[in-house]
Amino acid sequence: MIPRAVYQIFEQTQKLKEKGWQYKMEVNYVEIYNETIRDLLGSGSDDDKKHEIKHNDKTGTTTVSDVRVGKYSFFK
């Protein structure tokens, strides 16, 4: 991810938090190399897991199977 973009996301959430907005963010960090997906938040023992990219047309969401999720909450 581009560091400036991430910085700007957190900067804007902080400004809106001061106005009473609440956020819950979840992130996945994955690497795709030679058609292999690697979970960058997972432990080293997870390297042999097979991950799949799945898209849900109904919700418009795209997910990667069996990856760890980093969670961040911003509440007033």
| Model pLDDT for residues 28-62, shown as the tens digit of each residue | 888 899 988 999 888 776 667 889 999 999 999 89
Higher pLDDT: 52 or 75? It is 52
Among 18-27, 38-47, 61-70, the range with the most confident prediction by mean pLDDT is 61-70
Contact between residue 40 and residue 24 where contact means Cβ atoms under 8 Å apart? no
Portion of the chain with pLDDT greater than 70, in percent: 88
Q: Per the confidence metrics, is the pTM higher than 0.75?
A: no
Contact between residue 30 and residue 38 where contact means Cβ atoms under 8 Å apart? yes
Please tell me the number of Cα atoms within 13 Å of 20 on its side-chain side.
Answer: 0
Structure tokens at 73: 């909450």
